[in-house]
């Protein structure tokens, strides 16, 4: 195996580990923030604003769907959480 191939393989391994570690750090910081919100106020909103908007649009477009009651209950849960918890995660 040539020296350049070894250098490329080692460089690829370093880049892979770097990306994996940075993704892990970002994920762990988000989880720490969620845990801090749960400890300080007892919870946080279950959906991001984008997901909430998507659910509302789905309800508007599929008002006769069999699962509409379940989705509306999720929307209600989101609205109650936004009223109950002053600090937002999303």
Asked whether the whole model's pTM tops 0.85, one would answer: no
| Cα–Cα dist 47/79, whole Å | 10
Same domain, 25 and 63: no
> Which residue did the predictor score with more confidence, 14 or 43?
14
Same domain, 37 and 73: no
**Does residue 88 have a pLDDT over 90?**
no
Q: Which of 25, 43, 61 is the last residue of a domain?
A: 43
42: left (phi over 0), alpha (psi -120 to 50) or beta: left
**Does residue 22 have a pLDDT over 90?**
yes
| Cα–Cα dist 90/45, whole Å | 8
């Amino acid at each position: 195996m040539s020296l350049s191939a070894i250098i490329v393989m080692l460089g690829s391994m370093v880049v892979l580990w770097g990306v994996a570690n940075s993704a892990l750090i970002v994920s762990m910081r988000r989880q720490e923030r969620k845990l801090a919100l749960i400890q300080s106020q007892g919870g946080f909103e279950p959906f991001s604003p984008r997901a909430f908007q998507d659910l509302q649009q789905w309800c508007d477009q599929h008002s006769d769907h069999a699962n509409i009651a379940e989705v509306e209950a999720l929307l209600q849960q989101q609205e109650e959480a936004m009223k109950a918890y002053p600090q937002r995660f999303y």
